Chains A and B, each alone.
Chain A
Amino acid sequence: MTHFPELSRRGFLAITAGLSAATLVGCSTPAATPTAPKAGGRLRAAFAGGGAKEVLDPHLANLFVEAARSKAMFDKLADLGADVSAQPRLAERWEPNADLTRWRITLRPAVFHDGKPVRAQDVLASYARILDPKRAFRAKSSLSLIDLPNSKAIDDRTVEFALKRTFIEFPNALAAFGTYIVPEGTEDFTKPVGSGAFSFVSFEPGKSLVLKKNPNYWEGAPHLDELHFVIANEESARTNALLGGQVEYAHDLTPTTARAHGASDRMVIVRSPNSAVQAFAMKLDRAPFDNRDLREAMFLLADRPQLVESTLAGSGQIGNDLFGKGSQYYAGDIPQRTRDLDKAKHLIRKAGAEGMTIKLDTSTAAAGMVEAATIFADQVKGSGLTIEVVTGNKDTYWADTLKNGSMSSYRSGAMPIETHIAQRLLSTSGTNVTKWTRPEFDALYQKAVSTVDDKARGEVYAEMQRSLHAEGGYLMWGFADWIVGTARNVNGVATAPANTLDWARFDKVWLG
């Protein structure tokens, strides 16, 4: 199963769509010239599926294909833009009160597929469904800071949310994975009714979903008349179906396929950079990585370009041990780390770790993790340390490595830097793999999410990132591209990072 730990996506900006189309044309189809969008036609998109467990309930969505379908049929109040910051969607605007604990959301005029308007009551009912303590919806934790009993509908198009604490980044919660707005009282999603750009026609779990254009979509009707999601679990089958003209869009291709067919006249490769961070996580609360010098030695031993070249087949960028390259608030001014064997040896000696063998836990839970671990173990040779790669059970890998071991392979999809910090780097975080627990860091986070001024907030995030870069436990060596293939007549496919609004988005796509 492939899906990102935390999907989300981005607010549409007309300029981004234009840019994306231009980039697409620029990087892979030099012969074609950008044309005006053409209406009509049917697009068939091949995704990996989940067989019988596929659902159309957008709050239960878990797989990529479910996320893409939810996006086509439903809307969220906000979504993630190209820089992974929250952009308004069904919410026209949001205004916090002075202490950032009450947020007034104004909805844009939008209608569901059955013609009924999207009202404040639908928003509250959708969030109440997600937050139901008896159920286990994935978006529950993202919305848990909402004090629902004290939130209310002011009128049909205005909601006022009460929060349990001060939080300037509340729009990130509105853009979080799975926080879709459904008509009040909906429990049956066999024929889903949403407010999205496409409406439901027919569904066969594990086989196909047929949608048609919603001419009344609030952002303008999609160019396509029909959108078919078809299932092909094997990457090679998706590639073959695209090459054989059976689909026009193939989701999630490997770097090897991209390399093999990049120059083909039968498909266009669309790469979305900075989509998934690739890392090793060191635990700070136990030996040996409670020693700062040893952590720094590991940072200096990684040959990042080689890791990107060999495990991502070149389809990626090197990392600088910080999450969210290309995102809003990313501290791009911190100098890039490079391999320095001599300094690493010195640090290892200083830490008294010469001759030590360190276990590196990995598994096939995500593509390329075992390969990266093996290559890193090679890169460490000659430094005085030995890395022993241990391949664990992929089904329980994330839960195992959260608790056990001292170093493990790690990957994550895109999300706002604030969300990454809140989920993984606070002493209260539920998935704090590196066991980074520092009261002064927690305090900085509180300061950041209470700071209204954008620039001042950015400075606090920068300070937090500097301390993570210097002393943190994540060795983030690279960012993988997200790769899709399209037929040559498909236009308007954005190069936004996976998990953001423009990823797997079809209402701006047209057939030329």
Chain B
Amino acid sequence: MSLGRYALNRLAFGVVQVVAVATVVFLLVQALPGDAAVALAGDDPNPERIEQIRTSMGLDRPPLERFGAWLWGLAHLDFGTSIVSGRPVSAFLADGLAPTAVLAVLTLVLLVPLSVMVGVLAALREGSRLDRALTSISVGLHSIPEFALAVVLIALFGVQLAWLPPTAVGVGGDLLGHPEVLVLPLVVLLARPICSISRLVRAGMIEALSSDYVRHARRLGLSVGRVRFAHALPNALAPAVQQVARTTDWLLGGVIVVEAVFVIPGLGTTLVDAVASRDLPVVQGLAVVFAVTTVAVNLIADLVAFRLSPRAVGVR
């Protein structure tokens, strides 16, 4: 199969996925108990006031009508308007995007070289004390959920030793202006994926290094370095690239946790707030953005993996 045909197939499938997710999200959001009117009315609500708010928000319209209007808007890239604040949903996305993008991009930028380095190091010294140490640490770190790791890091480095700020409170969206607040969140976001990806790189590398073509290349007189990094590594990376894509999916969830724990006003925090106040258009808009991101990242990863090693992917 050619790369172009493969890309087209995957793209068509991606569109179907996004539409399916949009439908499911709408249904799930409808099933949330309570609505924005109740959330806005506060404690001790007066039923008349709730009804008044509900009508003004258009919550009394039938769900099918609202779904139709929403899908129609999406097709025109119009995400609708927040029923709670009256601002366009796209403004929420724009506000929350920068901090989340900073976190996600920095995580990915650091993740790839770090995990390749760790994986290759362990593979080249297979069975050594270093390899065993890296394995133990990886398995250990990988089994700690990110919120638990975050709480421990905050307690230790943020509060007890006071080396780093424990939260991003007061920094607002300007994370790059205060790089110190990024350290702990990035450590939390990186900890698990580094472990899993470096394990994959290590396994792939060990397998590649013991393969016939590597031995053949060495017999042809190519240097050790060239064989390892120009021939063995690309093949070892193909499964790792797809794992990086899966990590990106995971990252979207991880970012929500990390943003909540470290008080970073990104898309995750926006989503949590929107769910709490039953701001359905915002919840739906964010879910669609997350779905599109996931589908797009996986698409790109599949294409990269296909390019790196057509044999491994193309047969699917």
Which residues of A pack against B, CB within 8 Å? 1, 3-6, 44, 46, 49-53, 55, 62, 136, 138, 141, 204-208, 228, 230-234, 236-238, 240-241, 243-247, 365-366, 393, 395-396, 398-399, 430-431
Contact = CB atoms under 8 A, between A and B. Distances in A.
Nearest to B51: A136
A393 B52 contact: no
B270 interface: yes
27 contacts: A1-B39, A3-B42, A5-B42, A5-B44, A51-B269, A51-B273, A51-B277, A52-B87, A52-B282, A53-B85, A62-B42, A136-B49, A136-B52, A136-B53, A138-B42, A206-B265, A206-B269, A207-B172, A232-B169, A233-B273, A234-B263, A237-B169, A241-B166, A241-B263, A246-B165, A398-B43, A398-B45
A232 B84 CA distance: 20
Contacts of B159: 240, 243-244
A237 B257 CA distance: 13
B223 interface: no
A10 to B, nearest CB: 21
B170 interface: yes
Contacts of A46: 169-170
Contacts of B167: 232, 237, 240-241, 244, 246
B166 A244 contact: yes
Contacts of A49: 273
B308 to A, nearest CB: 42
A37 B49 CA distance: 44
B38 interface: yes
Contacts of A136: 49, 52-53
B162 interface: yes
B276 A51 contact: yes
Given A1-B39, A247-B170, 6 more contacts: A51-B274, A138-B42, A204-B265, A206-B265, A208-B170, A398-B43
A141 to B, nearest CB: 7
B234 interface: no
Contacts, number: 135
A244 B42 contact: no
B276 A1 contact: yes
B91 to A, nearest CB: 9
A244 B85 contact: no
A312 to B, nearest CB: 19
A396 B278 CA distance: 13
B34 interface: yes
B172 A399 contact: no
Contact of A52 (B33, B47, B173, B274): B274
Categorize the interface residue count of chain B: 35 or more
Nearest to A50: B277
A230 B165 CA distance: 15
B84 A53 contact: yes
Contacts of B33: 393, 395-396
B80 to A, nearest CB: 13
A241 B169 contact: yes
A436 B207 CA distance: 80
Most buried by B among A4, A205, A246, A393: A246
B146 interface: no
A379 B53 CA distance: 42
B172 A244 contact: no
B261 interface: yes
Contacts of A6: 44
B172 A204 contact: yes
B284 to A, nearest CB: 14
Contacts of A245: 162
Interface string B68-83: 0000000000000010
A393 B38 CA distance: 12
B79 to A, nearest CB: 14
A1 B33 CA distance: 15
A205 B173 CA distance: 12
Nearest to B38: A395
B198 to A, nearest CB: 30
A231 B263 contact: yes
A177 B277 CA distance: 22
Nearest to A53: B84
Contacts of B34: 393, 395-396
B210 interface: no
Contacts of B272: 51, 233
Most buried by B among A5, A50, A430: A50
A107 B159 CA distance: 49
B272 to A, nearest CB: 8
B245 interface: no
A206 B84 CA distance: 13
Contacts of A398: 43-45
B154 interface: yes
Contact of B47 (A141, A395, A399): A399
A231 to B, nearest CB: 7
A244 B172 CA distance: 17
B53 A244 contact: no
A245 B262 CA distance: 14
Contacts of B87: 52
A207 to B, nearest CB: 5
Given A232-B167, A234-B261, A244-B162, A5 B43 contact: yes
Contacts of B310: none
Contacts of B270: 51-52, 206
Contacts of B170: 44, 46, 208, 228, 230, 241, 246-247
Given A136-B52, A240-B158, A393-B34, A206 B42 contact: no
Nearest to A230: B170
A228 B33 CA distance: 35
Contacts of A3: 42-43
Interface string B26-42: 00000001100011101
Given A51-B274, A246-B166, A237 B45 contact: no
A394 to B, nearest CB: 8
A52 B263 contact: no
Most buried by B among A51, A55, A230, A231: A51
